[in-house]
């Protein structure tokens, strides 16, 4: 399968970006050179590089023995536990393709991923944050045409424990996958009714990981705290856990991202860097300020990366002093392009821009509504193409025709301005999405669910400003003429009962008689947003 046009792939290879190394081979490399070095710390557990490597081998061999073939898909829904990497690297080594679900996903999303990807297996924890994922797995199995086999980390209940998939030590994984083949399916933040899957290969992803590790100056002494869900592109690759493994450093997994947990882990594990979304950064900063000198010792922390949603200049100014470290802004997307402010950037640039692209060969265009290029300084639509930006979503030709230009640029849906130094400033968004403190909600997905409610005639879900999260979601509802007005909580419960992740449940519900319309009769979400407050 060609994920990139052959001439583009040849160019990226010739430029040295694509090296042909597989993502799991970095683990192998460190296991050979420094077998005893710790790769992962998870609560009281420590796995060395040798152990992680051996586990990945055993899982890869076990998957093959179980009949999972190269190219088969599995859904990975594991929280921040060491087994996340055992399964991820094991699958990659076997050529089995994980779909990177989030722990917050519920029946609707997981069933959709399983059905659409024709997943052969589903990996879940027993319980996470009070929620029983085995029950979720059972519900999913009942709705999917070809139910996946379920493997559980922890108490397996009616399913198989992960241990059952581990081949005996010494078992060899099947043949080496191709670095240009589909390696895993990342999730799109989405702006459409159904989530889109993003096909990433070893070559493109490893380039972004390696270059990110260089930009962020990672070494074997780096200790990365993974506080966001490990499957997300930011903590996975920017440079995140994979960048840390690439450099031979140590990954510390936070069971939850609360200030109490995270700050204590930074102190205990001597964490040197971490990546968070803006609301979390502010919560940590507030906790550190409140604790003062008597609080956890954060002196090991060198770099705080903030991304996933816009960081205000005011907030940016506070973070470094509060946590006693350097700040880096990160503006990235699971589809590819990632921008960083650099260590050599002046303070103003770090506080007021969202960075510049990883690669000299990242092509960035800022265009008007007719795809005409705009001069630097003028906000417009961000289009991008390059050595690690995908050329299309997985099995979505119709959507791809809209989401990509004919010559392969991805339409990010972001409105940005480029400065004279090539840094990007995110000014807004043209896509129909709510960015809830880094968690992305596709308005249409929630609207489709609410439209099925018997009292709802029409609905429009929009972002409204929020002091803490940046944005929250508000569902504007037009009721059927003869319907009794439901209470907002009933409509929220309806969305939850439909099996959507909790972060997609509208924060607010407002009843209106009509929607403002644009000149050509479409609902004007811009005017709806303006009517909030």
By the criterion CB under 6 A, which residues form the site for ligand OOB?
189, 233-234, 238, 307-310, 329-334, 338, 354, 412, 414, 426, 429, 435, 440
Tokens of residue 123, six digits: 């990996």
Give the CA count within 13 Å in the CB-facing half-sphere of 53. Answer: 19
Least distance from C-beta 129 to ligand OOB, angstroms?
20
Least distance from C-beta 3 to ligand OOB, angstroms?
18
Least distance from C-beta 105 to ligand OOB, angstroms?
14
Least distance from C-beta 321 to ligand OOB, angstroms?
20
Least distance from C-beta 93 to ligand OOB, angstroms?
24
Q: First vs last Cα of the chain: how many Å apart?
A: 50
Whose Cβ is closer to ligand OOB: residue 442's or residue 509's? Answer: 442
What's the DSSP call for residue 299?
Answer: T
Tally of CB atoms within 10 A around 420? 7
Give the residue nearest to ligand OOB (CB). 332
Whose Cβ is closer to ligand OOB: residue 55's or residue 418's? Answer: 418
Whose Cβ is closer to ligand OOB: residue 55's or residue 472's? Answer: 472
Give the CA count within 13 Å in the CB-facing half-sphere of 528. Answer: 27
| Rg for the chain, CA atoms, rounded | 23
Whose Cβ is closer to ligand OOB: residue 54's or residue 209's? Answer: 209
Least distance from C-beta 412 to ligand OOB, angstroms?
5
Whose Cβ is closer to ligand OOB: residue 63's or residue 231's? Answer: 231
Determine the Cα–Cα distance for residues 110 and 237; give it in Å rounded to an integer.
23
Is residue 435 packed enough to be buried (19+ CB in 10 Å), middle (13-18) or exposed (0-12)?
A: buried
Q: Backbone phi, then psi, for 216, in 5-degree steps?
A: -90, 5
Task: With H, G, I as helix, E, B as strand and everything else as coil, classify residue 278.
Answer: helix
Whose Cβ is closer to ligand OOB: residue 173's or residue 355's? Answer: 355
CA distances for 189 relative to 172, 193, 335, 403, angstroms: 37, 12, 9, 13
Whose Cβ is closer to ligand OOB: residue 68's or residue 228's? Answer: 228
Determine the Cα–Cα distance for residues 505 and 489; give it in Å rounded to an integer.
10
Whose Cβ is closer to ligand OOB: residue 34's or residue 352's? Answer: 352
Tokens of residue 19, six digits: 């090296």
Determine the Cα–Cα distance for residues 452 and 32; give it in Å rounded to an integer.
56
Least distance from C-beta 280 to ligand OOB, angstroms?
13
Is residue 169 packed enough to be buried (19+ CB in 10 Å), middle (13-18) or exposed (0-12)?
A: exposed
Least distance from C-beta 438 to ligand OOB, angstroms?
6
Least distance from C-beta 63 to ligand OOB, angstroms?
27
Whose Cβ is closer to ligand OOB: residue 72's or residue 439's? Answer: 439
CA distances for 378 relative to 82, 370, 371, 374, 430, angstroms: 45, 15, 14, 6, 15
Residue for token pair 């699971």: 334
């Amino acid at each position: 399968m060609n994920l990139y046009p052959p001439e583009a792939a040849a160019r990226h290879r010739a430029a040295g970006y694509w090296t042909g190394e597989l993502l799991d081979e970095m683990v192998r490399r460190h296991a050979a050179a420094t077998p005893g070095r710790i790769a992962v710390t998870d609560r009281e557990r420590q796995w060395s590089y040798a152990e992680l490597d051996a586990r990945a081998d055993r899982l890869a061999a076990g998957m093959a023995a179980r009949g999972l073939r190269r190219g088969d898909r599995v859904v990975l829904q594991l929280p921040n536990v060491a087994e996340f990497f055992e399964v991820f690297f094991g699958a990659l080594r076997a050529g089995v393709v994980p779909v990177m679900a989030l722990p917050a996903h519920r029946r609707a999303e997981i069933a959709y991923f399983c059905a659409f990807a024709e997943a052969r297996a589903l990996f879940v924890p027993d319980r996470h944050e009070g929620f029983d994922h085995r029950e979720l797995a059972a519900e999913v199995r009942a709705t999917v045409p070809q139910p996946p086999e379920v493997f559980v980390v922890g108490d397996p209940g009616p399913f198989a424990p992960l241990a059952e998939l581990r081949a005996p030590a010494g078992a060899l994984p099947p043949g080496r996958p191709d670095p240009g083949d589909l390696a895993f399916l990342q999730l799109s933040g989405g702006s459409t009714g159904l989530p889109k899957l993003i096909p990433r290969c070893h070559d493109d992803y490893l380039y972004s990981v390696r270059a990110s590790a260089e930009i962020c100056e990672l070494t074997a002494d780096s200790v990365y705290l993974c506080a966001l869900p490990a499957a997300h592109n930011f903590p996975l690759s920017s440079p995140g856990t994979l960048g840390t493994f690439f450099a031979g450093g140590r990954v510390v997994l936070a069971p939850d991202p609360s200030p109490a947990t995270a700050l204590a882990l930074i102190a205990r594990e001597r964490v040197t860097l971490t990546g968070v979304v803006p609301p979390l950064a502010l919560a940590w900063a507030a906790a550190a300020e409140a604790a003062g000198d008597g609080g956890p010792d954060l002196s090991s922390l060198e770099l705080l990366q903030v991304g996933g949603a816009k960081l205000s200049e005011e907030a940016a100014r506070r973070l470094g002093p509060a946590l006693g470290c350097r700040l880096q802004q990160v503006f990235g997307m699971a589809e590819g392009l990632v921008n960083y402010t650099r260590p050599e950037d002046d303070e103003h640039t770090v506080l007021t821009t969202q960075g510049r692209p990883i690669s000299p060969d990242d092509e960035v265009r800022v265009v008007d509504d007719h795809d005409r290029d705009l001069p630097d300084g003028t906000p417009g639509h961000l289009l991008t193409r390059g050595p690690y930006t995908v050329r299309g979503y997985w099995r979505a030709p119709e959507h791809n025709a809209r989401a990509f230009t004919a010559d392969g640029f991805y339409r990010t849906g972001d409105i940005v301005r480029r400065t004279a130094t090539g840094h990007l400033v995110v000014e807004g968004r043209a896509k129909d999405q709510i960015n809830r403190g880094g968690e992305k909600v596709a308005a249409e997905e929630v609207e489709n669910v609410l439209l099925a409610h018997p009292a709802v005639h029409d609905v429009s879900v929009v972002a409204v400003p929020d002091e803490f999260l940046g944005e929250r979601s508000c569902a504007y509802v037009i009721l059927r003429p003869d319907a009794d007005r439901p209470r907002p909580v009933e409509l929220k419960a309806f969305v939850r009962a439909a099996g959507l992740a909790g972060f997609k449940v509208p924060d607010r519900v407002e009843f209106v008689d009509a929607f403002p319309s644009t000149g050509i009769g479409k609902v004007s979400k811009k005017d709806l947003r303006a009517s909030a407050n």
